[in-house]
């Protein structure tokens, strides 16, 4: 299929190399039909917001047919839109409008597991042990007398055991919820099915895929016991010794070398289509050179760089993450990506308001330390300003352009993340970053839905942060994001290279680098630092970033040197 070229795109590098990509979480972006759950027509009706934000592409989290036991990451049919979100015609309308606005569309691909309601899993349950139907998943006999013990000791990322027993005594593997059985990627039928799913969406005009749990598809053939903690955000690898790649000990369920053959094959499929179609790996893999294997020239185009995201408010740590990821990616000739928030982690406007931003990755509850909203937002704006100047592509998560905080006071009975239930409430889960967006300060559900319904309650603090309350207001977070993307484009930030500017980082806590003739300075220290005399301020993360020629704490600037 041939795509129309995006308007005014005259570059020779692929569009994704320096793209700003906005993550839309369909459940919570905008609800057109008033049932309290966002939908595709709602997204289409608000696409002008994305155009005014100046983003190059949008990535849609899953909107496929799903019982929603993991918010759509449990797919029952990969080619159908869930009626909660609309129809295929609604998807086409969304994609076509986005194209007209010059915004490309990326969809989520969830190949590690299906929903237990998928026709394949239902057939597997109905079939006998050893049948072809069971072989599409990872069914095994148990250990111990009568096979009553699970085949190995793996746990679920969401807490609890990683295996569930079916009535005939066999067990199936689910690295996530019990309703998300893992597929067997050694089975050619699984490979062929996903080839077809990928073509289905490419034929419908999508420009790329975000590949869920890209490091999980292939498991160690022996399914050996593993005593490590099976997690996503923290990564699930142990490293040691002088050579981090040689000494790397991958967990047996993640980052097995066999995954790369799958991505080489998918890259061939992308190559059948025009328009620089792409894939981005969601792979919580360490160290950086292992992650860079996913973006070798014949594999995926991008991988999320979570090393930067999990750093605290610490210039030295951020610099280490930048160096490590850029060096690893340069070694394979791939541009890097940057991201600070998504639907799985605490929003960075709240993370940076905690005493230790690295301490809570997945959820804050009412009984936990509460973030300092003021400091958190100041730091988030500063970190984003620095991030958007780094060479490579950047991902934004819906609502961060409004400065939304994590919702930390959600009542237990409103929470839907399976992590909450499977951990017995020990881990509050990710609902706090998934609360429906506030569009209009004075409207019911802050304009999220026409009826005022909202699948998660919105905090009162959302009123002041609603999009219409920030529209045209100088210094608002929304206007800052618009300025950042516009100036980034004008100054060609995101392209080219960067170099540390130690001469402008006089003390610990200051991050300074130059790129495309711009000096970027970020202050994570607790005192102000003198900026170079005569420098022209291009953009500051807050209106008062500079005081008497010095960069104040918790702020960042883009400067042009004299
Ligand atoms: C997605 C999560 C999801 C998990 C299982 C992840 O990495 O981003 O939201 O729960 O995969 O599909």
Rounded CA-CA distance 178/121 in Å is 12
pLDDT of residue 238: 45
pLDDT of residue 241: 44
Tell me how crowded residue 119 is: count the other CB atoms within 10 A of its CB.
Answer: 10
Could you read off the pLDDT of 507-554 as tens digits, one per residue? 899 999 999 999 999 999 999 999 999 999 999 999 999 999 999 999
Rounded CA-CA distance 138/219 in Å is 10
Residue 174 tokens, joined: 């689910």
Contact assessment for residue 65 and residue 118, using Cβ atoms and an 8 Å cutoff? no
The alpha carbon of 346 and the centre of ligand 1 are apart by a number of angstroms equal to: 14
pLDDT of residue 65: 98
For the chain, what is the largest distance between any 2 Cα atoms, rounded to a whole number of angstroms?
A: 79
Parts of the chain with a pLDDT under 70: 1-11, 232-248, 359-361
Active site residue 272: yes
70 in ligand 1 pocket by Cβ < 6 Å? yes
Rounded CA-CA distance 262/175 in Å is 19
DSSP H/E element including 557: strand 555-560
Which ligand 1 atom is at minimum distance from the Cα of 344?
A: 9
Measure Cα distances from 289 to 159, 243, 292, 300 in Å. 29, 11, 5, 15
Rounded CA-CA distance 482/539 in Å is 11
pLDDT of residue 256: 96
Rounded CA-CA distance 141/165 in Å is 9
Nearest Cα residue to 128 out of 176, 82, 169, 186: 169
Measure Cα distances from 540 to 22, 108, 157, 373, 489 in Å. 22, 34, 40, 19, 16
Catalytic residue, from 70, 212, 344, 416: name it.
212
Rounded CA-CA distance 66/84 in Å is 9
Could you read off the pLDDT of 73-87 as tens digits, one per residue? 999 999 999 999 999
The alpha carbon of 232 and the centre of ligand 1 are apart by a number of angstroms equal to: 9
Give the residue whose CA is nearest to atom 12 of ligand 1: 73
Rounded CA-CA distance 263/395 in Å is 21
The alpha carbon of 213 and the centre of ligand 1 are apart by a number of angstroms equal to: 7
DSSP H/E element including 109: strand 104-109
DSSP state of 83: T
pLDDT of residue 250: 78
pTM for the model stands at: 0.96
Residue 433 tokens, joined: 């970053």
What does DSSP say about strands 237-238 and 249-250: parallel, antiparallel, or unpaired? antiparallel
Rounded CA-CA distance 445/440 in Å is 8
């Amino acid at each position: 299929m041939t795509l129309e070229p995006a308007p005014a795109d005259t570059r020779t590098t692929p569009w994704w190399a320096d793209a700003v990509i906005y993550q839309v979480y369909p459940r919570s972006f905008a609800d057109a039909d008033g049932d309290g759950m966002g939908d595709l027509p709602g997204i289409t009706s608000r696409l002008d917001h994305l155009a005014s934000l100046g983003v190059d592409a949008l990535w849609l989290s899953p909107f496929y047919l799903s019982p929603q036991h993991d918010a759509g990451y449990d797919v029952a049919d990969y080619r159908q839109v869930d009626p909660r979100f609309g129809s295929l015609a609604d998807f086409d309308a969304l994609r076509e409008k986005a194209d007209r606005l010059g915004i490309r569309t990326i969809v989520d691909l969830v190949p590690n597991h299906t929903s237990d309601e998928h026709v394949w899993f239902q057939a597997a349950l109905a079939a006998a042990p050893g049948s072809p139907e069971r072989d599409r998943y990872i069914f095994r006999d148990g250990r111990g007398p009568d096979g009553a013990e699970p085949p190995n000791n793996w746990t679920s990322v969401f807490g609890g055991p990683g295996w569930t027993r079916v009535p005939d005594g066999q067990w199936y593997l689910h690295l996530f919820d019990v309703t998300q059985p893992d597929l067997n990627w050694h089975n050619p039928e699984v490979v062929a099915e996903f080839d077809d799913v990928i073509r289905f969406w490419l034929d419908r005009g999508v420009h790329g895929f975000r590949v869920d749990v890209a490091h999980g598809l292939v498991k160690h053939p022996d399914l050996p016991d593993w005593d490590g903690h099976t997690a996503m955000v923290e990564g699930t690898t142990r490293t040691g010794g002088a050579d981090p790649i040689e000494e790397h000990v991958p967990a047996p369920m993640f980052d097995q070398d066999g995954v790369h053959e799958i991505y080489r094959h998918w890259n061939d499929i992308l190559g059948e289509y025009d328009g620089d179609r792409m894939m981005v790996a969601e792979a919580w893999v360490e160290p950086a050179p292992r992650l860079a294997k996913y973006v070798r020239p014949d594999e995926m185009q991008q991988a999320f760089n979570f090393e930067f995201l999990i750093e605290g408010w610490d210039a030295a740590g951020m610099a280490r993450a930048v160096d490590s990821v850029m060096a690893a990616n340069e070694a394979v000739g791939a541009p890097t990506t940057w991201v600070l928030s998504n639907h799985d982690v605490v929003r960075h406007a709240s993370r940076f308001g905690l005493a230790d931003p690295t301490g809570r990755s997945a959820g804050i509850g009412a009984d936990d330390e509460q973030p300092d909203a003021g400091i958190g937002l100041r730091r988030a704006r500063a970190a984003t300003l620095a991030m958007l100047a780094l060479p490579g592509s950047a991902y934004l998560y819906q609502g961060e352009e409004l400065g939304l905080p994590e919702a930390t006071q959600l009542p237990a009975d409103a929470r839907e993340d399976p992590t909450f239930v499977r951990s017995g409430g020990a881990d509050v889960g990710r609902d706090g970053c998934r609360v429906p967006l506030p569009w209009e300060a004075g409207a019911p559900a802050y304009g999220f839905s026409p009826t005022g319904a909202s699948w998660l309650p919105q905090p009162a603090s959302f009123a002041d942060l609603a999009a219409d309350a920030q529209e045209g207001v100088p210094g608002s977070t929304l206007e800052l994001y618009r300025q950042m993307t516009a100036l980034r484009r004008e100054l060609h930030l995101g392209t080219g290279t960067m170099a540390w500017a130690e001469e402008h980082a006089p003390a610990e806590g200051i991050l300074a680098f130059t790129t495309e003739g711009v000096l970027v300075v970020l202050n994570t220290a607790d005192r102000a630092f003198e900026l170079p005399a005569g420098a022209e301020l291009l953009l500051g993360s807050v209106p008062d970033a500079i005081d008497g020629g010095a960069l104040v704490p918790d702020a960042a600037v883009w400067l042009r040197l004299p």
